[in-house]
Amino acid sequence: MRIDLHTHSSTSDGTDTPEQLVEQAVRARLDVVALTDHDTFDGLDAAVATGERVGVQVVRGLELSCTHGGSSVHLLGYGADPADPELAREMARVRDGRTGRLTGVLAKLDALGVGVSEEAVMRFVGDSPSVGRPHIADALVEAGHVHDRTEAFDRYLYDGGPAHVHRYAIDLAHGIDLVRGAGGVAVIAHPWGRGREHVLPAELLAVLAAEHHLDGLEVEHQDHDRATRHRLRVLARQLDLLATGSSDYHGTGKVDHDLGVNTTDPSVFAEISDRMAARVR
Ligand code: AMP
Ligand code: ZN
Ligand code: FE
Ligand code: FE
């Protein structure tokens, strides 16, 4: 059984529609795929309907934009109720902040001599209910200022970079409470990726597990090298946290993140499924 629990569609900053993504999951020989768009549930119904048609189990997920110690941290949620008012309110606040920062980012890019228009960015936003940095990156590529999304981030858009503008994100511990309060299973995405180990040290993860009932850590992820995966796997076992593996697929928006490039063990997915069922309200 092949299980991939972290993917993005055009409902956030991936390039496949939810339908196309689930069809690609068949080609990648996946049995289970979670759609985890950034701060929105908008793509889930279409993904689930396609899954029923093509014989792939689609897990209703999300990736919530959180923050700890001033750094951005992503939290995956599985089976959270889209109608939960507190979670919905916070997700809307994140989306508003993401879109609201666009004017500021465009002004900074202009001053750096690599201007793009709001209309150019909006052409890449598609069905996404908010404007992410990857959409701005796409406009920079189109204008010929950079070759790809990665170069756009590395030169201009990275956290603290020359065209970066701060936006609202949810305190991590509160984010875990929100996902669990909405009946969801909470897993920290790529916790030690991109040199972030100092943001989420083992002691903090232990506190989040003990006091906020964090469910798991995404261990197998392309942002983690072999040694990091090993240390995270050991830590997850020590803290009695579930260890997941996923692609973080973004279609053509992210290279080296093909569907199924990392997968989650069937026994771990069975436990996630049990917890989702037990928490349905
Ligand atoms: P935003 O939520 O608009 O701040 O943008 C976050 C998105 O940008 C996520 O999908 C990340 O995958 C992507 N992202 C963040 N940092 C980088 C980076 N250094 N290179 C490429 N993509 C990135
Ligand atoms: Zn993304
Ligand atoms: Fe992420
Ligand atoms: Fe992601």
pTM: 0.97
Helix (H) or strand (E) holding 276: helix 266-279
Asked if residue 41 has its Cβ within 6 Å of ligand 1, the reply is no
CA distance to 41, 44, 76, 178, 211, per residue, from 61 (Å): 8, 8, 7, 14, 23
Distance from residue 214's CA to the centre of ligand 3 (Å) = 17
Give residue-wise pLDDT tens across range 131-155: 999 999 999 999 999 999 999 999 9
Asked if residue 253 has its Cβ within 6 Å of ligand 1, the reply is no
Q: Give the number of residues written for the chain.
A: 281
Amino acid at 214: L
CA distance 211 to 203: 12
Mean pLDDT confidence for 214-229: 98
* Domains, the chain: 3-94+168-279 (3.20.20.140), 102-157 (no CATH)
244 pairs with which residues across the strands?
218
Query: Across 37-150, where does the E strand assignment appear?
Result: 57-68, 71-78
Helix (H) or strand (E) holding 111: helix 102-111
Asked if residue 221 has its Cβ within 6 Å of ligand 1, the reply is no
Supply the mean pLDDT for the chain: 97
Residue 280's pLDDT is 77
